[in-house]
């Protein structure tokens, strides 16, 4: 009976109790206006940012970075800035869907799991 109760309790843990990760790839801009297409390979593929119920920052974007691609394996939220702290009220990112944004060199991205 104790094992059954323990197994039930583990299954009922909220998804936020488990960490996931977000990937950041950095690109230059190819044109100032119009449709942008990221040119492979990226300037930088940062180490994945481990996310949980608290904000976690990426490394600072390199000097040539003007566009960043964010991809998270779990629904998350992102904030971008000089020293950002992500909250669940920030811009949502759907799990498994890449998003591209214009960014400034030296900025960072902060991620948090979003229910």
Domain-by-domain residue ranges, the chain?
16-113
Yes or no: say if 75 and 44 are a contact pair by the CB < 8 Å rule.
no
Residue stretches of the chain with pLDDT short of 70: 1-19, 32-36
| Backbone phi and psi for residue 27, each to the nearest 5 degrees, phi listed first | -135, 155
**Which pLDDT belongs to residue 19?**
66
Strands 20-27 and 44-45: antiparallel
Q: Report pLDDT for 33.
A: 67
Q: What is the pTM of this model?
A: 0.80
Secondary structure element (H or E) that encloses residue 76, with its range: strand 76-81
Cβ of 16: how many Cβ atoms within 10 Å?
A: 17
What's the gap between Cα 100 and its chain centre?
A: 11
């Amino acid at each position: 009976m104790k094992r059954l109760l323990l197994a039930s309790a583990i299954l009922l843990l909220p998804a936020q109790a488990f960490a996931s990760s977000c990937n950041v790839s950095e690109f230059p801009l190819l044109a100032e206006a119009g449709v942008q297409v990221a040119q492979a390979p990226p300037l930088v593929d940062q180490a994945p940012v481990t996310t949980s119920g608290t904000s976690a920052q990426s490394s600072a974007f390199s000097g040539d970075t003007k566009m960043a691609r964010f991809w998270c394996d779990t629904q998350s939220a992102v904030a971008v800035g000089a020293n950002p702290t992500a909250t669940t009220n920030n811009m949502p990112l759907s799990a498994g869907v890449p998003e591209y944004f214009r960014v400034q060199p030296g900025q960072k991205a902060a991620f948090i799991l979003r229910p």
